Structure 1
Amino acid sequence: MSVLHPLMWTDRRQEAMQRSSTKKIYRLLDDIDDDSTWLNEKLWSSDRTRFPETVSLRVGGGNGEDGNLEERPCFTPLGFRYAVSLVRSRSFYVDGYLRLLPYLDYANHDDYGTREIGGGSVGTSFDVIGGSGSTGEPDPAMMQFLRLAKLGGKDAFLLESIFRGDVWGFMSEPVSEDNEREVVNAVIEACQSALSEMTSEGEGENDSGEESSSKMDRLCSMVCESEREALGRTLTYMRQEAEALDLKEYYQERRLKSLGLDSDWTPEDDVSFGGTRLPGTANYDW
């Protein structure tokens, strides 16, 4: 079981995975432990006949009758973690949610594949994309969220109730140079912080010299390299954005343009009286 999924790896391997990814495995492990502890206290321990701690399974037989009989943890914290690892390894992101799909969950996943079926995010996290063809441009939804989070100073008027129905849409484009600078700096700092926390695992450091241990090293290394590449591309992109802040069009400019007030005034632009005379051209006979 210890080689099937990172959730079932040894403590040392999980520590390596923790350092190899921005999606910290310790957070998931803590959530799983909290849930299993609650279930054990409230449900499993009250009826061990219905919720046994272990079950016996025949493993390795083609027809269910051959193979070795193994005892596996069931309604225990370890058994719950194993169940979660099975679900996560067989599920896909569809429409932004992690789902188990009939028949597709039978398909074996490529351990070293880097392409996922339709990415998504969980909670309030955002993804950065690396790989061939990636420009490093961050998720537009993240930029939209950060612009709203960083609103302040002269831009705070957009938080007034009159704009309640429109403010989120306004955030899809740059608001002001100061606001955009804070957003860009926030992304740059987040990328730099994530890169500084990540360390590449040394090749050939095995627990036992077995092939499975080498496979874990390779997986950790691939995760680390791919995330470092994605973060590096995003960092480069945002540094370029920081140098081009004065070239962007901001909310006030867009608003004036929409009202037709973005050009110099001429008499022809004014409203005529009587349809033929401009103000100040009357010839009064006193």
Structure 2
Amino acid sequence: MPAGARAPFQQHRSCAAALSHPGAFTGAVRAGRGMFETANGGTLFLDEVGELPLPIQTQLLRVLEEKTIVPLGTFEPRPVDVRVVAATHRDLPRDVAAGRFRADLWYRLSVLPLEVPPFSARIEDAKAIADSVQRDLARAGYPLRLTPADWKAVRAYDWPGNVRQFINVLKRAAYTGSGLSEAMAAERRLSGQTPQGLDERERALRLFCPERAEEVRPEEEIRAAYMRRALAAFDGNRARAAQALGVAENTLRKWVDGKSGA
């Protein structure tokens, strides 16, 4: 891109400044370069465009239709030649139907719509993403090693926060030295993000034994199996395995040794 700017539209005042229209708010008399003027001749990325208030949607539509702006503090239109790329996490057609987003702006922006699937639907990208993050972490002095058990846990999780959540969990694992499986367990405890409709035994079995999750076996055998897998994931460290599973270390020892009783 020969020129570009990133415009996260969050505040009414900052939106008006980005679009460079006079009189959009009280005291708008100082001349300055808005986002469109800065990106003139290049590309402007409008992040979270679905959060724009309706008055600013009207101004944005006018800029896109007329290809001119009026810098703050002036009354002289200036032509701009900007390629606009917009992104949002919202369902804009639904917002249009609900009156929260202008239909004409939606049709003006959706010339070439691209839908990015959630991270869980393209989990095969995890390896390339992790490799890049690991290189950055290693350069910063925080090497991170991922085990086969870690990758099983990555594939078993639904990642509601998408790639950003995955990267953050990788960084947490490196910064704390806890390992990825433990960092993911902490993430689930903090956010309450666990598969619905599964009891604790089934959740742990899917995490540590996904290839055997559908088997029907006695409860004691299932419990001992995933406890042993948890221990293996943490190189035999019972304290860390117990913490990841959310049980006391003594309980883990009894389950693994088959002395838990009924």
What TM-score do the two structures reach when normalised by structure 2? 0.22
Higher Cα Rg: structure 1 or 2?
1
What TM-score do the two structures reach when normalised by structure 1? 0.21
The structure that is helix-richer by fraction is 2
